[in-house]
Structures are given as structure tokens and as C-alpha cells.
Structure 1
Amino acid sequence: MLSKLLKYELKATGRIFLPLFLALLLFAVINRFTLGPEDFDTPAMISMAIYIVILVGILVMTFIMMIQRFNKNLLSDEGYLMLTLPVKPWKHIVSKLFVSMLWIVISGIAALMSILVIALKNGDLTTFTEAFSNSYRQAFELLGASLYLLFFEIIIVLLVTLASGILIIYASIAIGHLFNQHKMLASFGAFIALSALSQILLKLFNMIPGTTYSSNIHISSVNDLISMQPAIQLMLASGIIFTALLCAAYFAIANYILSKRLNLE
């Protein structure tokens, strides 16, 4: 059933995002050929303005859609229908979380690609590729196979951080709907409270022996990078553990409220 929820969520949101991505790339290509170092005429300015509006619109839309899909589908009148399906509430949360993460990642990739289409000139891509290849080769010679572990940890850190950012919003919205009035204001207050509590817990977590403060890591040369590699990996691993615990806590709050304390009035 989770797969069906994912397909439904992708279909519902894809109708909005896919045309925006296509429009973004289309105007990136147009700006690629209309913009010049000296020729910045009215059509070029209009094309660039439209591109910027679409780019900002995509970034704003991903945030709005993330909130709107959770709030409207599960905590408004639609919640009566969605939560009467033979599906556990946690599956609704997971489906919306995964799809939100997917669109945020795709939005970032599309934005980066569109910027590269406009910015890169003839030969720049080859130069960039060669520079990246040389940097990778040098890093592998210095760090060896541990370079892959470092990349993997960085990717996991980014993903769990993204999931944590989404889940704290879900938990805040769910807490806000425990109130009969001023639910959005209560959700905002819950978000501030959860954020403050998370920062306090982070301070306490960093006091545990064996964890690494990021402020203790100073890299000014390649030799520093090599010598500090164990500390960097420990810092990343600690960050993954702490953020994953936060994700579990936010998820538990949202799931408990949807399962036991839901107020749709």
C-alpha cells in the first residue's frame, strides 16, 4: 500500500513540478543564446526576468507544496477520507516525506543545471570536467578508499538533514492541530519550541565523550585534511546519529498525533 501512496503523491505533485522544470530549462536555453557580454537588450532582459521568476517559484513551490500536501491531505477535511483508508498513518507520513525529499533534490539539480546552461561557455564544460577529474585523482591518492566513505557519509548527512527539516515541520503542524483555534499560529510556536529543544539537545549530545566539535577541526592545507580525516569522519558519523534520532523523534510525534490524538474539527 505504501507504493500506491507514493505513486499517488508523485502523480499529484508531478503535474505541478514537471511543467515548471521544463519551463526553467527552456528559458535557461533561451537565455544561453540571447544573453551576451554587450548585447543585453529588452528581449534578453524579459527572458532573464521570466527565468528568475520561474527559478524562485520552483524553490518557493517546493516549500509550500511540502506543507500543503501534509496539512491539507491529512489534517483538513480530506483527512477524513485519507485516514479512513486501510493504511497506517505512518505510511502516509513516509510517502509524503519521500516525495517531498525527491522534489527538493530534483529542484536543486534542475536549478543547478539551468545555471550551468546559462553560465558555461564553449569549452568551459571540458575544463570543469578535467579540473574535477584531477581533483578527484589527487584526493584518492591522498585518502585512498576512505575517500568513498567520506563521500558516503556526506551524502547521508545531507539526506538525514533534509529529512529532519521536513519532519520537524510535519511534527509542528500536527502539534498545532491539537488546538481548536489558531492552529497555524500554534504550529509556528511548536516549530520554534522544537527547534530550540533540538539545539539544546545538540549541545548536550556534543558533551558526550567521543563526539567531535566541528569548531575543533581546522583545515588550511592538504596535510591538515589527511591528519584530521578521522576527526572529520567521527564528526560526520556523530551528526548522522544525532540527526537520525531527531528524525525518529519528529516522526514519532507526528505519527502519535495522527494515530491517537487527531483533531479535524
Structure 2
Amino acid sequence: MLTKLLKYEIKATGRMFLPIFLSLLVFAVINKILSVFDNQSWQIPSKISMVFYVIIMAGMFVMTLTVMIQRFYKNLLSDEGYLMYTLPVKSWKHILSKLLVSMLWMIASVIAAMISIEIISYKQGTLGKIIQGLAVFHNQVTGYLGAPAYLLILELILGGLITLASGILMVYTSIAIGHLFSRHKIIVSFGAFIALNTITQIYIILACRIPKIVHSVNIVFYNVTSNDFFRLELIFMYGLILIGIPCASYFAATNFILSKRLNLE
């Protein structure tokens, strides 16, 4: 059933995102073509095209955030919630489907933005230099630590995904808390978001100040040798657990509210 929810969510949101992605890339190509012409008569069309490109870029990220909030609120906490909860699906699957699709479009927006920037700034040989630079970086890290660099890169990517999920779930939890109240739901949700964000920041600061952890981090990052690779792995694992705890907590809190304390009035 989770697969069906994901397909439905992607289909419902894709019709909004795909056109804006296409528009962004089209204007990136137009800007690249116009930049080739040095004639004064092409300056105004080039500036107008760039303005549209910037507007679309900004609108894409604003829409990503807006859709993330709207889909969660509208489908699960508004009148549509009565229909959604008649489906034989547990609350955590609804939350997970919204989370995964929101992450999908956020990552896709970043990739689309990077591709469009690369199109505008592209020069012959640029792609080859990027690939060569990545190869050199991989070889240096591998030779320095005695382990493939892609392992660390994968862990960094995983950490980024957990951090992204945690941020989205924080928003979901804030909205769910707001709907525990019959009045001033938006104000309560905003206050809950500030409170959760503050608590999370305090938690991370305190967790990073554990004496043994700080000592190990200083040893690893200021005196790294191939023998320290295992210790570096432990630091990365600790970091993943550190950011994973609030992520799991937000998911559990949102699921509890939607399952046990849901208020659609």
C-alpha cells in the first residue's frame, strides 16, 4: 500500500514540478545562447531572459517548501483527512509517503538548479576538468586514509539525507502539534517549530561537547593517518546516530499525534 501512496503522491505533485524544471532548463539554454552574442542589440533580451531565469529558480524552491507543507496539511489534517483515513493504511505510511516524496522533489530541485547553472556557465572542457578533479580527489583520499573515498562520500550523503528528513519531519510535527488545539492552529504550529528547532540545536551542541567525543574528533581531524580510518568511521557513525535520534523522534511524535490524538475539527 505504501507503494501506491508513493505513486499517487508523485503523480499529484509531479504535474507541478516537472513544468517548472523544464522551464528552468529552457531559460538556462536561452541564456547560454544569448550570451554567445556580443552585439549590443542582444543585451536587453539577454537581461530579460536572465530575470525570468532567476524568478523561476526562486519560485522553484519556494514552491518546493510550499507543496511540502500543503500536501501534509491538506491531505492529512484538513477535510481530505476524513477520506485519507478511511483507507486501510496506517498513519506512519501516510507520513512516510509524504516525507519521501518531499525529499525527492527537494533533491530534484537542487539537481535541476545545478544543471541549469552548469548550462549557463559551461565552457568547452569544463566537464572533463570536473571529472578529472573528482578522480584526483578520490585517489588522494584513498592514498591518505588507506580506504576508498566513496565510503566517506556515501556516509556524508546518508548524513545529508537524514538531516533533510529531520528538517521535514520537524515541520510535520509542528503542524501536527498545532492541530491539537481547536484555535490559533497556525500560531501554535509556528511556535512549536521554533521550540523544536531550539531544543534540537541545544541537543546537538550538548551531544558534541561530550569530552571523549571532542577529544576523538580533534585527534582524527588534526592528526589523520591511515591507522585512524577506523576511528574516523566511528566519528561518522556517531554523527549519523546523533542526527538520527531527532529524526526518529519527530517521526514517532507525528505518528502518535495522527494515530492517537488526531483533531480534524
TM-score when scaled to structure 1?
Answer: 0.91
Quote the Cα distance in structure 2 between the aligned partners of 1:114 and 1:79.
38
1:80 aligns with 2:82: yes
Tell me the CA shift for residue 235 of structure 1: 3.2
Contact 1:32 1:117 in 2 (8 A): yes
Tell me the CA shift for residue 43 of structure 1: 0.5
Residue in structure 1 matched with residue 9 of structure 2 by the alignment: 9
Quote the Cα distance in structure 2 between the aligned partners of 1:38 and 1:233.
52
- Which residue identity lines up with residue 162 of structure 2 in the other structure? V
Residue in structure 2 matched with residue 138 of structure 1 by the alignment: 140
- Which residue identity lines up with residue 204 of structure 1 in the other structure? L
Tell me the CA shift for residue 231 of structure 1: 5.5
Residue in structure 2 matched with residue 247 of structure 1 by the alignment: 247
Quote the Cα distance in structure 1 between the aligned partners of 2:185 and 2:240.
32
Contact 1:212 1:238 in 2 (8 A): no
- Which residue identity lines up with residue 28 of structure 2 in the other structure? A
1:46 aligns with 2:58: no
Cα 1:125–1:75 change in 2 (3 A) is same
Tell me the CA shift for residue 225 of structure 1: 7.5
Cα 1:124–1:243 change in 2 (3 A) is same
Contact 2:28 2:119 in 1 (8 A): yes
The number of equivalent residue pairs is 263
Quote the Cα distance in structure 2 between the aligned partners of 1:217 and 1:178.
47
Residue in structure 2 matched with residue 178 of structure 1 by the alignment: 180
Q: Which of 117, 125, 137 is equivalent to 1:123?
A: 125
- Give 1:221-236 correspondences, 5 Å limit: 232-236=232-236
Contact 2:24 2:57 in 1 (8 A): yes
Cα deviation 1:10-60 (Å, max 9, x = unaligned): 000000000111111111111111125955611001111111111111111
**Residue ranges of structure 1 left out of the alignment (5+ in a row):** none
Tell me the CA shift for residue 136 of structure 1: 2.1
Residue in structure 2 matched with residue 30 of structure 1 by the alignment: 30
Quote the Cα distance in structure 2 between the aligned partners of 1:145 and 1:51.
42
Cα 1:217–1:30 change in 2 (3 A) is farther
Quote the Cα distance in structure 2 between the aligned partners of 1:162 and 1:180.
30
Contact 1:217 1:232 in 2 (8 A): no
Quote the Cα distance in structure 1 between the aligned partners of 2:166 and 2:245.
9
Residue in structure 2 matched with residue 56 of structure 1 by the alignment: 58
Tell me the CA shift for residue 238 of structure 1: 1.6
Contact 1:172 1:188 in 2 (8 A): yes
TM-score when scaled to structure 2?
Answer: 0.91
Tell me the CA shift for residue 159 of structure 1: 0.6
- Give 1:139-154 correspondences, 5 Å limit: 139-154=141-156
Tell me the CA shift for residue 247 of structure 1: 1.1
The two structures, once aligned, show a CA RMSD in angstroms of: 2.3
**SS of aligned partner of 2:213:** coil
Tell me the CA shift for residue 216 of structure 1: 3.9
Cα deviation 1:161-197 (Å, max 9, x = unaligned): 0000000000000000011111111001001111122
Quote the Cα distance in structure 1 between the aligned partners of 2:225 and 2:43.
48
Residue in structure 2 matched with residue 196 of structure 1 by the alignment: 198
Quote the Cα distance in structure 1 between the aligned partners of 2:172 and 2:197.
13
Higher-helix-fraction structure:
2
Contact 1:212 1:235 in 2 (8 A): no
Residue in structure 1 matched with residue 18 of structure 2 by the alignment: 18
**Residue ranges of structure 2 left out of the alignment (5+ in a row):** none
